[in-house]
Amino acid sequence: MTTVPRTGADLQRAGADKEPASTPWRRRLLLLPLLPAAVAALASLAWWLAGERRSLVLSAELPGVLFGVGVATSAVLLGVQLLRTGTASRIERARQNAEESNRQAYRQFLGRLDHELKNPLTAVRAAANSIEDDESRAIIDAQSQRMGRLLKDLRKLAEIEVAPLEMEQVDLVEATHDAVDAVEQELAVAGQRRAFSVSFPGAPWPLPTVLGDADLLYSAIYNMVSNAAKYTGPEALIEVRGSQNGGAVTLEVADTGIGIPAEEIDQVWSELGRASNARGLPGHGLGLALVATIASRHGGSCSLSSRLGVGTSITMTLPAAG
């Protein structure tokens, strides 16, 4: 039995022959709104052909007419406004659902990535121990540990977006001093030092507390201070300043370090995003992404200003408690 190829025209005719049975009903539904107009037109024509010349005269007082027109106009405008509001609400809900779906897919991807790479990294490190060349073994071990830390930080960043917050009154002054002390100790262990200047208002009142998760807020402040120390030299100055503006508390970490190229400022907020002049320094480019995520989860925001070769200023703004 030979099968004869069918042309596009044959397929179109076949499709037309197999038109869904529901198509005539769809056409009738489209014509349904025209039925009242058709009936009225036929009735009017019959009346006119019968020689009837009757008139219908309506009268109303002007105040009543004005009131009716006003009510009808308001009803139309209200209907249009409700329609617009409903459409805008649906669009906003769709946008939020899409963003949440993207975040969920991203978290699932990080989970799979961590699961798939954890065992190979363990195997690589185990195999490295059998290498007799001490230098090669040290390189393999160091790089596998670096990849392990990267996976751990990525997983931590994904978890922060959904982890429940343990809310309490947090003293940002105390948390900042603790973070600066921790960075100074790490620098001392590495045989380095930086000049830190920490200042908070004392008059007419001290900086108010914020309501949030103490561990996460400390982590955000530590990353801001650690970033400043990482991208500055021994002779650089790092200033940490706190201030209050209305119902918001702002923490700023400013340095006289290498700065960021103007065209690359936006990308440093993304995961693994690093400026081109910082790629030779240690780090994964997750610090600012973590700071921004923590600030967002506390109802706050972050901003950054920088000049290449001059320095960088990072600010985190949070709602004051109460």
Q: Which domain holds residue 215?
A: 167-319
pLDDT in tens, 206-220: 999 999 999 999 999
171 and 302 in a common domain: yes
217 and 145 in a common domain: no
DSSP letter, residue 257: S
For the entire predicted model, the pTM comes to 0.60
Give the neighbor-by-neighbor strand order of the sheet with 195-199: 195-199, 237-245, 248-255, 311-319, 301-307
The Cα–Cα gap between 146 and 150 comes to: 6
More confidently predicted of 193 and 140: 193
Indicate whether 302 belongs to any domain: yes
Helix (H, G, I), strand (E, B) or coil at 60: coil
314 and 172 in a common domain: yes
More confidently predicted of 18 and 150: 150
Is the Cβ–Cβ distance between 170 and 214 less than 8 Å?
yes
Task: Name the pLDDT band for 317 (thresholds 50, 70, 90).
Answer: very high
Indicate whether 12 belongs to any domain: no
The Cα–Cα gap between 98 and 93 comes to: 8
Indicate whether 9 belongs to any domain: no
Is the confidence at residue 250, as pLDDT, over 90? yes
Return the closest-CA partner of residue 265 out of 253, 255, 275. Answer: 275
Domain end marker among 138, 163, 188: 163
312 and 172 in a common domain: yes
251 and 176 in a common domain: yes
Is the confidence at residue 7, as pLDDT, over 60? no
pLDDT value of residue 198: 95
151 and 283 in a common domain: no
pLDDT value of residue 199: 95
More confidently predicted of 150 and 254: 254
**Looking at residues 73-100, what average pLDDT do you find?**
82
192 and 138 in a common domain: no
HSE (side-chain half, CA atoms, 13 Å) at 208: 15
pLDDT in tens, 255-270: 999 998 888 888 888 7
The Cα–Cα gap between 195 and 253 comes to: 13
Domain end marker among 120, 135, 163: 163
Indicate whether 199 belongs to any domain: yes
194 and 305 in a common domain: yes
Amino acid 163 reads A
Is the Cβ–Cβ distance between 320 and 248 less than 8 Å?
yes
174 and 97 in a common domain: no
Domain count, the chain: 2
H/E run at residue 37: helix 35-49
302 and 178 in a common domain: yes
Residue 141 CB contacts under 8 Å (≥ 6 apart), including other chains: 125, 128
H/E run at residue 237: strand 237-245
Could you check whether the bond before residue 204 is cis, i.e. omega within 30 degrees of 0?
Answer: yes
Task: Name the pLDDT band for 240 (thresholds 50, 70, 90).
Answer: very high
177 and 315 in a common domain: yes
CATH number at 179 reads 3.30.565.10
Tell me the average pLDDT of the chain. Answer: 79
Is the confidence at residue 122, as pLDDT, over 80? no
Indicate whether 38 belongs to any domain: no
Indicate whether 91 belongs to any domain: yes
β-strands 210-213, 311-319: how paired?
A: unpaired
The Cα–Cα gap between 295 and 248 comes to: 12
Task: Name the pLDDT band for 67 (thresholds 50, 70, 90).
Answer: confident
DSSP letter, residue 166: -
Return the closest-CA partner of residue 257 out of 221, 309, 180, 305. Answer: 309
Tokens representing residue 198 in the block: 């920490």
Of 134-138, 174-178, 247-251, 294-298, minimum mean pLDDT range:
134-138
Indicate whether 254 belongs to any domain: yes
pLDDT value of residue 58: 64
**Buried b / exposed e along 22-32 (16+ C-beta atoms within 10 A):** eeeeeeeeeee
**Looking at residues 26-43, what average pLDDT do you find?**
71
Is the confidence at residue 295, as pLDDT, over 70? yes
CA 297 to chain centre: 11
Indicate whether 20 belongs to any domain: no
Percent of the chain topping pLDDT 90: 31
Is the confidence at residue 156, as pLDDT, over 80? no
Domain end marker among 163, 193, 210: 163
pLDDT value of residue 303: 94
Of 181-185, 190-194, 285-289, minimum mean pLDDT range:
285-289
Distances (CA, A) of 202 to 165, 173, 253, 280: 29, 11, 19, 41
Distances (CA, A) of 39 to 22, 30, 36, 50: 26, 16, 5, 17
Burial bucket for residue 90 (CB in 10 Å: 0-12, 13-18, 19+)? exposed
Residue 319, Cβ neighbours under 10 Å: how many? 16
Of 1-5, 150-154, 187-191, 313-317, minimum mean pLDDT range:
1-5
109 and 199 in a common domain: no
